Amino acid sequence: MKGIYCVLMCFLGGLFIFFCNESKKTSTLVQPEKWWKVHPRPVYAKLDKVGTFQDWFDVYKLIEGTYAIYEPNQFEEAICYLVIGQERAVLIDTGTGIGNLKKVVSGLTKLPVSVVLTHEHYDHVAAAYRFKNIAMFDNADALNVLKAGRVNASLQKYLKNDYLWKPLPKGFDPKTWIIPSMEPTTLLHDGDMIDLGGRKLEVIYTPGHSPGSICLLDRENRILFTGDHFFPGPLYAHAPDVNIADYMESNKKLAHRIDEYDYLCSGHNDPWVKSEVILRVGKAFADIFAGKGKFSQDNGLRRYYFDGFDILIRTDMINGVAPPTKSPTI
C-alpha cells in the first residue's frame, strides 16, 4: 500500500510540474499579448508582393534579384533573403522550418542555391537541411549548436502560448518537427567575399547577439543583411549567449562603414530599414549603461524603448557595472 501511495504522489507531483510548465508564458516584455495586432506592418504595403506560398510564406521583391521571404504567422516573424547573381544564388537564413522553404525558393530561381546562415539560432537555421550547401561563420560555439540540432520536445514551445496567430501550413506535422544535426560545407571568415557572378557579398563578423553572428554587405546595391544584429523590434541583449561588449563593438564596426550601405535587410519584422538606425543603436547602448533611457521592468528583465527599436537586457547586466570585456576575437 505504501508503494502505491508513493507512486501516486510521484505521478501527481509530475502532473503538477507539467501543468506549471505548460502554463508558464514568456514575459510580456519579450512577447506582448496579442502581438499580431501590429499586422499588417505598414512597410509591406510599400513593397512589391510577388506571391503568397503555402499559406505560410509571403514573398516580396526588394530590388532586382533580391527577395524577402517572410513568415508572418508565427511570433518570430522570421525573414529569409534570396539573393540572385548571374551564376548562382544564396539564401540568407532559412527561418523556422515550418513551411517548405525549398519549394518557395525553387519557384523564384532556377540557378543553383546555397545557404548562408547569419547565426546559429533555431529560427534562422531550421530549414537549412533542405539544401546541399551550407555556409556558416567559423566559430566553435555556433558550429556546435548547428551540429546538435533540436529535438521535437524543445521546439514545442514555439507553437504554444500565443506563438501562432494563424493555422500551421498543410503538410506540417508538429509532432515530427525537428532540426536535424547539420555541418556546414563551407566555413566563413571576416572579410570573405561570396561571389554570385556579377554580384558579391562581403562577410562582416559581428558577434554579440550570438557568438557566430555575421552581417553580409552587398556594396554595389548598398544593402546590409543584418541577421539579428538589428531588426525593428526588441533587440535581444538578455539571452545567455549574448556578449554585450561584443555587441557594442560590432555595432561600432558597422557604424564606421555606414557610408557603404543605405538600407538594412533585417532578420525579423521589417525587411527594408534605413541604415541611419545603426548609429542610434550605439547611442542607445551607451545611454543604458549611463543610467539613461525609459524602460519597463519584469522579473529581472528590462525593455528599453527607443525610436524604431527596443533593447531587452537583464538588470544584472547593467546595475552600476560597465559592460564585460569584449571577446579577443572581434
For residue range 47-76, list pLDDT tens digits in order.
999 988 888 999 999 999 999 999 999 999
Helix (H, G, I), strand (E, B) or coil at 31: coil
Q: Where are the beta strands (DSSP E) in 241-298?
A: 263-266, 273-274, 295-298
* pLDDT of 145: 98
Alpha helical stretches, state H, 91-214: 101-106, 122-125, 140-148, 152-155
* pLDDT of 85: 98
Amino acid residing at 22: E
Instruction: Tell me how far apart the alpha carbons of residues 95 and 149 are, in angstroms, rounded to a whole number.
Output: 14
Number of C-alpha atoms within 13 angstroms, CB side, residue 57? 26
Neighbours of 179 (CB within 10 A): 23
* pLDDT of 24: 52
Q: Examine the pLDDT at 191 and tell me if it is beyond 90.
A: yes
Q: Examine the pLDDT at 5 and tell me if it is beyond 80.
A: no
Q: Examine the pLDDT at 2 and tell me if it is beyond 50.
A: no
User: Among 85-89, 128-132, 314-318, whose mean pLDDT is lowest?
Assistant: 314-318
* pLDDT of 328: 67
What is the residue-averaged pLDDT of the chain?
91
CATH (one of 3.60.15.10, 3.60.110.10, 3.40.190.10, 3.30.465.10) for 27-317: 3.60.15.10
* pLDDT of 325: 67
Q: Where are the beta strands (DSSP E) in 16-140?
A: 48-53, 57-63, 66-70, 79-84, 89-92, 113-116, 134-137
Q: Examine the pLDDT at 299 and tell me if it is beyond 60.
A: yes
Strands 309-314, 234-236: pairing is parallel
> If 0-12 CB within 10 Å is exposed, 13-18 middle and 19+ buried, where does residue 7 land?
exposed
Per-residue pLDDT averaged across 216-245, rounded? 97
* Sign of the alpha-carbon dihedral angle for 20, 23, 26, 27: negative
Q: What percentage of residues in the chain have a pLDDT greater than 90?
A: 86
Per-residue pLDDT averaged across 178-196, rounded? 98
Which of the pair, 41 or 25, is modelled with greater confidence? 41
pTM: 0.91
Taking alpha carbons only, the member of 65, 73, 34 closest to residue 48 is 65
